[in-house]
Structure 1
Amino acid sequence: MQNLAGKTAFVTGGASGIGLGIAKALRRAGMNVAIADIRQDHIDEAVGELGEESVLALELDVTDRAAFAAAADATEARFGKVHLLVNNAGIAVMGPVELATYADWDWTMSVNVGGVINGIVTFLPRILAHGEGGHIVNTASMSGIMPNAGTTLYTASKTAVVGLSEAMRGELEPKGVIVSAFCPGAVQSNIAESGKTRPAHLADTGYAETDRRRQQSGDLSHLFMTKEEVGERVREGIENDELFILTHHEFHEGVKDRAEAMIASVPDREEDPEYKAMFPFLFKNAIHAAERDRQNAKRTK
């Protein structure tokens, strides 16, 4: 989606941190932007930062499907057709997996995976119906590619987002809709305040002490990418139709090690030619070679 000016974007979790950075970059590119967020205080601050022109601010819990549909209707009533969906809203629940309660799991998956699903089910039919093409950006995380101990719930949710984005890419690109998995490293955001939006019926947590320690671990934000930097990176990724929108080179060695570990784990055994011929789509996805070639071409320019 190279031509952003005059088109409309819908950004969840759009009133602070990464979402606000994306919204700002899209506005600078000339898009109309609807920002949806669960926190009204963040919405008020974001409107002050973005301005009211060509911006629609909506309070939305991404787990509420009826509210999602109403937000989509409001966006179309204000701006018309939506071309870009950024499923960005997310939460972080961290700590030893043995401490996790059902409520910890349910809350994490309902927001980080369920919120993405709700965005897709709400907006994809509308994007396909107007026939002008579009783009869906699903915010995952480098945790979805580079898992680490102590992040099992978060990693599970973000790995799901990476996988569904890859599967959707090959299915929807022929229909004119590009799908990207956005996998940021550390960014200055309010995700550490996730607990403030935790619903009462999912309040039972095994992570009260780990959350308290995390909140008291000190301010390391000077090491993190700013929301403006990450917003521009996402805009660039959208305009380049990138499959994986990554932000930090520091992960290069770890990603390489993981890929090589997977390659090394493929058994060295004789292939069944009939099996391979019958199900060729199982063994290779053209989107990966295409993305490799796209990225390599960028580097040689």
Structure 2
Amino acid sequence: VQSWEAVTEPGSDARIASFTSISGPCLDHMGYWMRDRWRRPSPRGLRRALSQQLHSWYVLLFHVPVLPELVWRLVVAKRWPLLLHRLEGVPPRPGHPARTLARDAVHGLSLYRANFRPRLRRPRERRTEVPVQVVMPVHDRYVTPPLAEGLQRWVPRLWRRRLYAGHWSALLRDGAQVARMVTELIDHVGGAPEARGLARARAGAKARPLVVVTGGGSGIGRATARAFAASGAEVVVCDLDERAARETGGHAYRVDVSDEAQMRRFADEVLRAHGVPDIVVNNAGVGHAGTFLATTGEEWRRVLDVNLWGVIHGCQVFGKLMAERGEGGHIVNVASAAAYLPVKSLAAYATSKAAVLMLSDVLRAEVAGRGIGVSAICPGLVDTGITRTTTFSGLSEEEQDRRRDAATRAYRRRNFAPERVAAEILRAVETGRATVP
């Protein structure tokens, strides 16, 4: 916050090439932000102003004479590593904090007392032509992300980015993510192309997400990939049939989702060529019909390898990339109505889809704090090509062909197109809906 003083000095753009601020604008900008919301009240604006004032409780405490200094010297400084670990999950490390922490904190109290009230009461018009990136930790207990709203009034070259971290963990635990953001701005100001995350964060820019769809060569996968592309997204499609993937459109790859090594190589290639995906749709699947006792071990393995392990692999390789990036994302796992409607003739298939549904619930709880949403899509009978490749336990090839033809006719009679499922997937990503039956 104090660095804004130098950045907003007249002529600063001749001396400062770029500036990245963590946790908000300068005090003058904050003063105008508060003033605007109280002078031109709206329910949303008042709610956000009140929320920020509640988060700023510590400012009042800092203005109490003597007591804050005593608390810092006698209690907080001595227990600082423990407090960081309990409040924000920052692991203790050697050499931290510095032995000067208590003295530094007391100096910080003096800065608060000298500047906070005057700047909020009589804010100055502080503008700058310096390219500025504002990183707002979403889980900040003291500075709320809405404080960055309206900053383009003072900073025409502005990028606003969210980091799913806390006030202190943004640097002490997630410093690598912050360093990457800083480097992206420095490189861009120096002439490099705008990184995907930076382009998305530019004030006034329309987001163009990167979407990965597995099993995108036909059916629900193809319809979903094309729907995302029509909405303006950049789409990466993988399928066992690379030709079918190319026909879908976007960047096409041949991948067997049941093969963990292939999926890891695929994720590495997506990262290298396109960046970290914003949305991943784990759609690849196979159909199989047969009662439990009639289904062979080999048939069980085939169904579980694709329908369950394929989803696990997709969640692992891409979920880790999203979590490490720290800027959120969304994972969509295509399950089935068979996940919660037991049918004795779909033993392996229903089991695999029920596992996908539970996996989605468990994963959602784990990654929610990193800003990653997880949706499970559970469609019923959809007119796709899956009926033409479904296998049947205990039947001759000729009888299986007859069953496939009958299933295909039944699915067509229902006339539920994959495009309708794709529309639900896009809606789930937009709204953050957990389960779509």
Which residue in 2 is equivalent to 1:167? Answer: 362
Q: 2:241 aligned with 1:39, yes or no?
A: yes
Distance 1:223 1:103 in 2: 32
Map 1:1-301 to 2 at 5 A: 5-47=207-249, 55-194=250-389, 206-208=394-396, 211-217=400-406, 219-220=409-410, 221-246=412-437
Partner of residue 258, structure 1: none
State the distance in 2 between where 1:68 and 1:193 align.
26
- TM-score normalized by the length of structure 1: 0.71
Indicate conservation of the 8 Å contact 1:13/1:90, yes or no: yes
CA–CA distance in 1 between the matches of 2:212 and 2:395?
32
Residue 206 of structure 1 deviates from its aligned partner by 3.1
Q: Distance in 2 between matches of 1:45 and 1:33?
A: 13
Deviation (angstroms), 1:205:
5.6
Structure 1 counterpart of 2:404, which letter?
A: Q
Distance 1:129 1:194 in 2: 38
Greater displacement, 153-162 / 143-152: 143-152
Alpha-carbon contact 2:289-2:393 (below 8 Å) kept:
no
Q: Which runs of 5+ in 2 are unaligned?
A: 1-199, 201-205
Q: Distance in 1 between matches of 2:207 and 2:379?
A: 25
| 1:218-260 deviations in Å (ceiling 9; x for gaps) | 52314132122221111011101001022xxxxxxxxxxxxxx
- How far apart are the structure 1 equivalents of 2:255 and 2:244? 12
Structure 1 CA distance, aligned partners of 2:246 and 2:409?
25
CA distance in 2, matches of 1:208, 1:177: 45
Alpha-carbon offset, residue 152 of structure 1: 0.8
State how far apart, in whole Å, the 2-side matches of 1:143 and 1:158 are: 7
Cα distance in structure 2, aligned partners of 1:216 and 1:189: 13
Cα pair 2:264 2:317 within 8 Å, conserved: yes
1:100 Cα deviation (Å)?
0.8
Aligned twin of 1:295: none
Unaligned runs of 5+ in 1: 48-54, 199-203, 247-301
Aligned-pair Cα RMSD in Å:
2.1
- Structure 1 CA distance for aligned equivalents of residues 425 and 360 of structure 2: 15
Q: 1:44 to 1:176 in 2, by over 3 A?
A: closer
Instruction: Name the CA distance, whole Å, in 2 between partners of 1:16 and 1:161.
Output: 20
For the 8 Å contact 1:11–1:85, the answer to whether it is kept is: yes
Q: Determine the structure 2 residue equivalent to 1:276.
A: none
Give 3-state SS (helix, strand or coil) of 1:180's partner.
strand
Q: Distance in 2 between matches of 1:94 and 1:10?
A: 29
Q: Provide the C-alpha distance between the structure 2 equivalents of 1:177 and 1:206, rounded to a whole number of angstroms.
A: 42
SS at 2:211 equivalent: strand
Contact 2:290 2:393 in 1 (8 A): no
Post-superposition CA distance 1:128-174 (Å, at most 9, x none): 11111011111110000111120111000000000111111122112
CA–CA separation in structure 1 for the residues paired with 2:424 and 2:355:
22
Q: Secondary structure at the match of 2:213?
A: strand
Which 10-residue stretch deviates more, 138-147 or 23-32? 23-32
Paired residues, what number?
230
Q: Which structure carries more relative contact order (alpha carbon 8 Å, separation 6+)?
A: 1
* C-alpha distance in structure 2 between counterparts of 1:81 and 1:7, whole Å: 10
Query: How far, CA to CA, are the matches of 2:326 and 2:217 in structure 1?
Result: 29
Partner deviation per Cα, 1:25-57 (whole Å, 9 max, x = no partner): 11122111111101134224323xxxxxxx210
